[in-house]
Amino acid sequence: MVAPQVEICIYGADVICASCVNLPSSKDTYEWLEAALARKFPNQSFHITYVDIYNPPEDENKQQFSQRVIEEEMFYPVVVINGTVVGEGNPKLKSVYNELEKYGFSSANT
Protein backbone atom coordinates (compact mmCIF):
# COMPACT_ATOMS: atom_id res chain seq x y z
CA MET A 1 0.00 0.00 0.00
CA VAL A 2 1.32 3.46 -0.90
CA ALA A 3 1.01 6.02 1.88
CA PRO A 4 -0.48 9.40 0.95
CA GLN A 5 1.66 12.55 1.13
CA VAL A 6 1.91 13.48 4.77
CA GLU A 7 2.91 16.90 6.09
CA ILE A 8 4.94 16.99 9.27
CA CYS A 9 5.47 20.44 10.77
CA ILE A 10 7.89 21.20 13.55
CA TYR A 11 6.91 24.47 15.24
CA GLY A 12 9.59 26.10 17.32
CA ALA A 13 11.86 29.07 17.88
CA ASP A 14 15.55 29.87 18.03
CA VAL A 15 15.22 30.52 21.76
CA ILE A 16 14.75 27.32 23.74
CA CYS A 17 11.42 27.06 25.55
CA ALA A 18 11.84 28.06 29.22
CA SER A 19 10.51 24.69 30.40
CA CYS A 20 12.77 22.83 27.97
CA VAL A 21 16.17 24.20 28.99
CA ASN A 22 18.04 20.88 28.98
CA LEU A 23 16.44 19.60 25.77
CA PRO A 24 17.63 19.97 22.16
CA SER A 25 16.67 23.09 20.23
CA SER A 26 13.66 23.09 17.92
CA LYS A 27 15.91 23.01 14.84
CA ASP A 28 17.97 20.15 16.30
CA THR A 29 14.74 18.24 16.93
CA TYR A 30 13.61 18.93 13.34
CA GLU A 31 16.88 17.56 11.92
CA TRP A 32 16.89 14.56 14.26
CA LEU A 33 13.27 13.72 13.46
CA GLU A 34 13.79 14.06 9.71
CA ALA A 35 16.73 11.62 9.84
CA ALA A 36 14.91 9.17 12.12
CA LEU A 37 11.83 9.10 9.87
CA ALA A 38 13.89 8.61 6.72
CA ARG A 39 15.56 5.56 8.38
CA LYS A 40 12.32 4.13 9.77
CA PHE A 41 10.21 4.70 6.65
CA PRO A 42 12.59 4.62 3.65
CA ASN A 43 11.12 5.34 0.21
CA GLN A 44 7.87 6.59 1.77
CA SER A 45 6.67 10.06 0.98
CA PHE A 46 6.44 12.69 3.68
CA HIS A 47 7.12 16.39 3.72
CA ILE A 48 8.73 17.79 6.87
CA THR A 49 8.89 21.53 7.52
CA TYR A 50 10.38 23.66 10.26
CA VAL A 51 8.21 26.66 11.18
CA ASP A 52 9.62 29.50 13.31
CA ILE A 53 6.66 30.53 15.48
CA TYR A 54 7.91 34.12 15.62
CA ASN A 55 8.45 34.34 11.86
CA PRO A 56 6.00 31.91 10.20
CA PRO A 57 5.64 31.61 6.42
CA GLU A 58 2.81 33.20 4.42
CA ASP A 59 0.65 30.07 4.84
CA GLU A 60 -2.36 31.13 6.91
CA ASN A 61 -2.73 27.77 8.70
CA LYS A 62 0.91 27.84 9.78
CA GLN A 63 0.56 31.45 10.94
CA GLN A 64 -2.55 30.60 12.97
CA PHE A 65 -0.96 27.55 14.57
CA SER A 66 2.21 29.52 15.35
CA GLN A 67 0.05 32.08 17.15
CA ARG A 68 -1.68 29.26 19.03
CA VAL A 69 1.68 27.88 20.22
CA ILE A 70 2.56 31.32 21.59
CA GLU A 71 -0.84 32.15 23.11
CA GLU A 72 -1.37 28.74 24.72
CA GLU A 73 2.25 28.65 25.90
CA MET A 74 2.75 25.22 24.37
CA PHE A 75 6.11 23.57 24.94
CA TYR A 76 8.06 23.70 21.72
CA PRO A 77 9.06 22.19 19.49
CA VAL A 78 5.52 21.11 18.69
CA VAL A 79 5.24 18.25 16.20
CA VAL A 80 2.11 18.32 14.03
CA ILE A 81 1.21 15.66 11.45
CA ASN A 82 -1.55 16.62 9.03
CA GLY A 83 -3.07 18.92 11.66
CA THR A 84 -2.76 16.52 14.63
CA VAL A 85 -0.43 17.47 17.49
CA VAL A 86 1.69 14.39 18.27
CA GLY A 87 4.32 15.87 20.56
CA GLU A 88 5.37 18.93 22.55
CA GLY A 89 8.69 19.90 24.10
CA ASN A 90 10.41 16.53 23.89
CA PRO A 91 8.48 14.58 21.24
CA LYS A 92 8.54 10.81 21.48
CA LEU A 93 9.45 8.90 18.34
CA LYS A 94 6.90 6.19 19.12
CA SER A 95 4.05 8.75 19.04
CA VAL A 96 5.26 10.11 15.70
CA TYR A 97 5.68 6.60 14.26
CA ASN A 98 2.21 5.57 15.46
CA GLU A 99 0.60 8.59 13.80
CA LEU A 100 2.40 7.94 10.51
CA GLU A 101 1.32 4.28 10.59
CA LYS A 102 -2.30 5.54 10.60
CA TYR A 103 -1.54 6.91 7.12
CA GLY A 104 -0.26 3.56 5.87
CA PHE A 105 3.43 3.99 6.59
CA SER A 106 5.24 0.75 7.32
CA SER A 107 8.56 0.26 9.03
CA ALA A 108 11.68 -0.78 7.16
CA ASN A 109 11.87 -3.62 9.71
CA THR A 110 8.57 -5.23 8.67
pLDDT digits (tens, 9 = 90+) for 23-47: 788 899 999 999 999 999 988 889 9
Cis peptide before 42 (omega within 30 of 0): no
pLDDT at 2 > cutoff 60: no
Label residue 1 by pLDDT band (50, 70, 90). very low
3-state secondary structure 17-73: CHHHCCCCCHHHHHHHHHHHHHHHCCCCCEEEEEEECCCCCCCHHHHHHHHHHHHCC
pLDDT at residue 3, rounded to an integer: 45
CA distance 24 to 32: 10
pLDDT at residue 24, rounded to an integer: 83
**Residues 59-98: pLDDT tens digits?**
999 999 999 999 998 989 999 999 999 999 889 999 999 9
pLDDT at residue 54, rounded to an integer: 95
pLDDT at residue 6, rounded to an integer: 92
Highest mean pLDDT among 18-22, 95-99, 103-107: 95-99
Which CATH number does 6-101 carry? 3.40.30.30
